[in-house]
Amino acid sequence: MGDPLFFQGVGLGVFIIAAVKVVVAFVVLLVSVMLMIWFERKVISDMQNRIGPNRAGPYGILQTLADGIKLFFKEDLLPTEADRIVFKLAPYLALLPALLIFTIVPVGGIVTIAHHTVELQVADPPIGILFLLALSSVAVYGTMLAGWSSGSKYPLLGSVRASAQMISYEAAMGLSIVAVILQSHSLSTRTIVGMQASSVLHWNVFRTGIVPFVIFVVAVTAELQRPPFDLSEGEQELVGGFHTEYSSLRFALFFLAEFMNTITMSAVIVTLFLGGPDGPGFHFLRWLWPILWFAGKTVVFLYCYVWVRAALPRMRYDQLMDFGWKLLIPLSLAWLLVIAAIQESRWWGVGVLVACLPTYLLLQRSRQVSRQRRELQAAEADKNRARLQPRQVLLRSVLADDSPGGDD
């Protein structure tokens, strides 16, 4: 297995084709980010009965470009208490994982260019899924270092929130990916797509029982810090979050990384669970139809992200952590055991499922009892405060009367 482009060795033609693939992927991703920002602003404005951007270019489509040019020429600020090197490095650490993850995503089929067989993806390493997991773990460093290096408490709190959130949901995301690996028996993204190509029923969203797909989508949304999981940018208590002290181009890089990550992870969802570029084609322009299918599936997920942002309120931080540790991780682990047992035999799968159900119900019951206990303790504390409040008011009035400046 591997990229067929390199089967006959590496010559000048192979090098040029590889370089062109890298440049095209980079340009397509940057243009997609510009269109995604415009798309999100227009869709949300339509949902809220507003017009949205409509000045720069037709239908306001060049508004993102205008905003980027404005940010490029704004003054670049550097806080006096900041760690200069880390402060400047952090935006690039947030951006690079999104660029590199997109390189392993198959956006189309296989074509022939200058007598060379070429896969429409930048690279197809045999350990592509491990590459994905490694880079998604590295992304937290950009956020964490941005808050720490600013020398301010509010960005630090935002970065601590973000890192705890990303680490928490990384486990559930990894377990859902392992379910896909068990079904595909490969770590290559091209092989995973090929295993789903026979029919829609062979897509991993159905082969894994839908549960890993739902867990992966929720975990990725939390990893991307998209609403309703955008607690690292809670304006009510953190001003602006981990990027509060950033301005100009470095401020723009964080938002570029956010939207680029959204596009990249939507493409990853399509690759792992929805067949990638798989779909019905026609006899003319056969190379084009897989690309269109892949783009269409990705746009559906991007629209869902915008819809969720417009519809759902932000969660509380304790709800966020409880949801990840007490619901998603146990559910993903139990479902992974069921899928692994089914690989042995269906009866093993049924037995493991029957064994996991009471365990999961017991965990949820203990979670409910714990929540009720906390609520009772909070209610008791409120009663104590209400009972002590009149005494405190009376004591303050007595002290005020006995003071030298009291009533004469």
Please report the DSSP string for 241-301 in residue order. Answer: GGGTT--HHHHHHHHHHHHHHHHHHHHHHHHHHS-TT-S---SSSTTHHHHHHHHHHHHHH
Q: According to the model, what pLDDT value does residue 6 have?
A: 74
Tokens read off for 34: 């510009």
Is 190 inside a domain boundary?
A: yes
Angle at alpha carbon of residue 86, lines to 83 and 90, rounded to 5°: 135
Is 64 inside a domain boundary?
A: no
CA gap 232, 299 in Å, rounded: 26
Q: According to the model, what pLDDT value does residue 299 have?
A: 94
Is 9 inside a domain boundary?
A: no
Q: According to the model, what pLDDT value does residue 398 have?
A: 63
pTM as predicted: 0.86
At 218, phi and psi to the nearest 5? -65, -45
Query: How many domains would you assign to the chain?
Result: 1
Q: According to the model, what pLDDT value does residue 177 have?
A: 94
Q: What range defines the domain where residue 269 resides? A: 70-316
Tokens read off for 277: 């570029």
Is 342 inside a domain boundary?
A: no
Is 25 inside a domain boundary?
A: no
pLDDT in tens, the chain (408 residues): 567 777 777 778 888 888 889 999 999 999 999 999 999 999 999 998 888 888 888 888 898 889 889 888 888 888 888 888 999 899 998 889 888 999 999 998 888 887 778 888 998 888 889 999 988 888 888 888 888 898 888 888 888 888 888 888 988 999 999 999 998 888 999 999 989 887 888 899 999 989 999 999 999 998 888 888 887 776 666 677 788 888 888 888 988 888 999 999 999 999 999 988 988 877 777 888 899 999 999 999 999 999 998 888 888 888 888 888 888 998 898 889 888 888 888 888 788 888 888 887 887 788 788 888 888 888 888 787 777 777 666 666 666 666 555 554
